[in-house]
Amino acid sequence: MVKLTPVNQTSSRECLESKIRHHINKLDEYQKDQNQKILELCQVGKVLCTYFPAYSFKEIREVPDFIITDGINDICIEHELILQPEKKKRIGFLENTALLAERELYEDEDFPKFHADCRISDSFKFRTRDKQSIIDTFINVIRHKYLTGKLLDNELIERITFTKHSQKTISLNFGAYMVSEISESTICEFISKKEQKIDKYIENTGLKQWLILIIGNTCHSSYEVFDPFNVVFKSKFDKIFLLEDFDNVLYELK
């Protein structure tokens, strides 16, 4: 595991806008699969801006996720988010229901624009069959709190903080947590998962293949690298990287 030195040390915001904005504009953030693609674009785009600034997105696709180019060389990139499975399901489900609630509030032209930071109750238990009920709870509790300043009695949201915003947005706060250290076995498990598909990636494109594993985003189910360590594995991928998303630190594994 080798920690890479950023090529571009300046602010990457303008660079990121130039690389991903026109692609994001074609996607619907309220569609689950397209919202996921927006996340992938942001994370991989940040890697390109900081470590491979000569490259831009040539094609947004599936199997693999992207083709990037520097105008001469084309390279395929497969993106994989490493999360703790027991926590990933709960967080992913609630984030998706919040997004659907956000869409319904967005369509209400009479309701003001806002950003709502919702602290989710640690004790809240969800069932997938209750999805619409949970969406309704988000809408009703947020609407009532915004209009009256009072929090409706509910099992989902402990508190809401509003800030002014140019859109109507909801973010979820799951409270304080301890970040887990990523292990060699976890990294190898996710590499192996993608290794099963690489022949298809090569067949579909005939290009070099890079794999970018993502950790270290701001949620309970993520991991961090406390100290770099060696990772022993075999892979057909030409390059494999590990990105600590929050700190934008990139490690080369192969």
Asked whether the predicted pLDDT for residue 178 surpasses 70, the reply is: no
Q: Which helix (H) or strand (E) holds 30?
A: none
The predicted-structure confidence for 115-157, as pLDDT tens digits, reads as follows 999 999 988 988 888 999 999 999 999 999 999 999 999 999 9
- Whether 169 and 94 map to the same domain: the answer is yes
pLDDT of residue 134: 96
The predicted-structure confidence for 68-81, as pLDDT tens digits, reads as follows 999 999 999 999 98
Q: Which helix (H) or strand (E) holds 4?
A: none
Asked whether the predicted pLDDT for residue 222 surpasses 90, the reply is: no
Pairwise CA distance, residues 252 & 254, whole Å? 6
Is the separation of the CB atoms in 230 and 1 below 8 Å?
A: yes
Asked whether the bond before 64 is cis by omega within 30 degrees of 0, the reply is: yes
- Whether 160 and 116 map to the same domain: the answer is yes
pLDDT of residue 91: 81
- Whether 188 and 210 map to the same domain: the answer is yes
- Whether 187 and 78 map to the same domain: the answer is yes
- Domain total for the chain? 2
Asked whether the predicted pLDDT for residue 174 surpasses 70, the reply is: yes
- Whether 189 and 226 map to the same domain: the answer is yes
- Whether 76 and 187 map to the same domain: the answer is yes
Mean pLDDT, the chain, integer:
91
Q: What are phi and psi of 241, to 5 degrees?
A: -125, 155
- Whether 117 and 157 map to the same domain: the answer is yes
The predicted-structure confidence for 8-40, as pLDDT tens digits, reads as follows 866 678 888 899 999 999 998 888 788 889 989
pTM for the structure as a whole:
0.75
Lowest mean pLDDT among 51-55, 85-89, 141-145, 248-252: 85-89
pLDDT of residue 33: 86
Query: What is the span of the domain harbouring residue 214?
Result: 2-82+182-252
Handedness of CA 108, 109, 110, 114 (dihedral sign): positive
Q: What are the residue ranges of helices labelled H in 149-224?
A: 184-195, 198-205
- Whether 94 and 161 map to the same domain: the answer is yes
Which of 49, 77, 165 has the alpha carbon at shortest distance from 113? 165
